[in-house]
Amino acid sequence: MIANLMMYQRPQLVGAHNRFWALIRTALRERGIDSPETLSQDAEEFSVWRDPKLVLSQTCGMPFRTWLHEDVALVGTPDYGLEGCPPGYYRSALVVRDDDPRDTLDAYRDACFAYNQHFSQSGYAAPYWHLMPRGFWFENRLHTEQHLNSAHAVAEGRADIASLDAQSWRLMERYEPFAKQLRVLDWTEPTPGLPLITALKDQSAAIFGAVEQAITSLGDEDRSLLGVKGIAMIAKENYLAIPNPP
């Protein structure tokens, strides 16, 4: 068995994630579902998502629709109460340096774009489709592997613009002093947020109930730290309908 909640992990949230998992485990046990005692937060993401004994993990919408949806079941989508988004949805902040005088997306046509992964909905696909109506995509790109690295690259001048999912950006604003050097130039349109998945396809509804129960049981401090407000049921078809960049 394996489980993790790695998508928004950071040092300040280790305790909150562990307590959240303990609540989920209790709720799973009440439903007759075994689960690992600890989260595998440092495991390689695709090894977790493709593990036939996966109890619960959170993935990105693009890997889910591109590679995973036939092998795992969609459990539900955490709702982070993000501004401008329906429950369970998120959007991307297109961030630039605060002292950069350019104030329109068109002015960044020849800029260096930092992105975490080409298979990231928030870091790559969302900005790609946001820019297509404007007639361009960034030719000069810097692959950084993580949203945090993308934001650092912009702040340090190694890149000019990056696309960060709204929850990641909210956490950076809270915990990263360098975030004050950045500003949001624009926002992409909301899309379904990061889904929870399981390999236990016949248990997905019960796992949804366990996560919902755990969120309700969270203490106020942990709820505030994690930013989670609830869990939404977004249809699988809504994820699959989002196009991938070429």
pLDDT, tens digit, 9 for 90 and up, residues 178-222: 999 999 999 999 999 999 999 999 999 999 999 999 999 999 999
For the segment 63-83, the average pLDDT, to the nearest whole number, is: 98
* Band (171; pLDDT cuts 50, 70, 90): very high
For the segment 152-164, the average pLDDT, to the nearest whole number, is: 98
**62 and 15 housed in the same domain:** yes
Domain for residue 172, yes or no?
yes
Domain for residue 226, yes or no?
yes
Domain for residue 245, yes or no?
no
Q: Which pLDDT belongs to residue 163?
A: 98
When divided into structural domains, the chain yields a total of 2
**102 and 166 housed in the same domain:** yes
Domain for residue 246, yes or no?
no
Q: Does the CA dihedral 118-201-43-222 come out positive or negative?
A: positive
Q: What is the CATH number of the domain that holds 15?
A: 3.40.190.10
**105 and 184 housed in the same domain:** yes
Q: Which pLDDT belongs to residue 228?
A: 98
Q: Which pLDDT belongs to residue 59?
A: 98
Distance CA(166)–CA(83), nearest Å, equals 9
For the segment 113-142, the average pLDDT, to the nearest whole number, is: 98
* Band (98; pLDDT cuts 50, 70, 90): very high
**pLDDT tens digit string along 16-53?**
999 999 999 999 999 999 999 999 999 999 999 999 99
Q: Which pLDDT belongs to residue 20?
A: 98
Q: Which pLDDT belongs to residue 237?
A: 98
Distance CA(49)–CA(207), nearest Å, equals 16
Instruction: Give Cα 67 distance to the centre of its chain.
Output: 17
Whose tokens are 């109890």? That residue is: 55
* Strand residue runs (E) in the chain: 2-3, 54-58, 73-79, 89-90, 92-97, 112-115, 140-143, 161-165, 182-187, 191-192, 196-198, 230-232
Q: Which pLDDT belongs to residue 127?
A: 98
Domain for residue 168, yes or no?
yes
**78 and 198 housed in the same domain:** yes
**163 and 216 housed in the same domain:** no
For the segment 148-162, the average pLDDT, to the nearest whole number, is: 98
What's the mean pLDDT when you consider all of the chain?
Answer: 98
Domain for residue 32, yes or no?
yes
Whose tokens are 């505030």? That residue is: 224
**96 and 177 housed in the same domain:** yes
**196 and 185 housed in the same domain:** no
**114 and 134 housed in the same domain:** yes
Residue % of the chain over a pLDDT of 90 = 100
Domain for residue 123, yes or no?
yes
Containing structural domain, residue 29 = 2-84+192-240
Domain for residue 24, yes or no?
yes
